[in-house]
Amino acid sequence: MSGSAHISDLKLEVGGSGWVPVRSHFGVSSFGVNAYVASEAGGRIIGEHDETGPRSARHEELYFVANGHATFTVNGDEIDAPAGTFVFVRDPAAKRKAVAKEGETTVIAVGGTPGKAFTPSEWERQAPVLAFFARKEYDKAIEALEELRAETPDDPTVNFNLACAYSLTAEKSKALEHLRRAVEIDSDFLDNAKNDSDLDSIRDDPEFSAITGQADAARSSS
């Protein structure tokens, strides 16, 4: 099915920046494509990452600055990128990030794994859920996340987002249960747990301290 949409109708606020879930909106199945918007100069557009982690697909990534002006950093090298600039990162191990030099800077990102059919990342599978969070429809987020968890019970992102959703609906025991599972599967979520305001309702619970303390100890010994 063909279609059209304006970027302002798709943008979600996620992690302090604007994420535009282009691929999931149109149901694109052959390649990955999304967009990112920084509303203010100095704002993060592309968070620092590589494509080699346990939930990465070793993508090649092509970025296009559609509006505004960005500065990319790829393996420590800065690239000045005004509107109209393409930035290609072939090596999946290369660290890359981008910040805005102007407000409303918009970057389109296209990615895929050479020689492999495209499959959405674990994180992107939850795009509809992020829309529910943005609209504070937490019951709908829980329903969608529980369906995803039934398919992939050991997905740490699903478990962490369930912890957030249950925390926001004051279902503390379920929030703590899923938080524990998330950090057991992937200790990287420990940092998220310490900083995500969605978990504020359980932060003072002794069980929260026990979960984060145990995860800290396990990570230190590994």
Measured CA to CA, the distance from residue 44 to residue 65 in angstroms comes to 14
Residue 16: the pLDDT is 58
Residue 195: the pLDDT is 86
Tell the burial category of 37 from Cβ atoms under 10 Å away from its Cβ (0-12, 13-18, 19+): buried
Residue 215: the pLDDT is 63
**Residues of the chain predicted below pLDDT 70:** 1, 14-17, 54-55, 215-216, 218-222
Does this model's pTM top 0.85? My answer is no
Domains in the chain, ordered, with CATH? 7-112 (2.60.120.10), 124-221 (1.25.40.10)
Residue 25: the pLDDT is 87
Residue 169: the pLDDT is 97
Residue 15: the pLDDT is 56
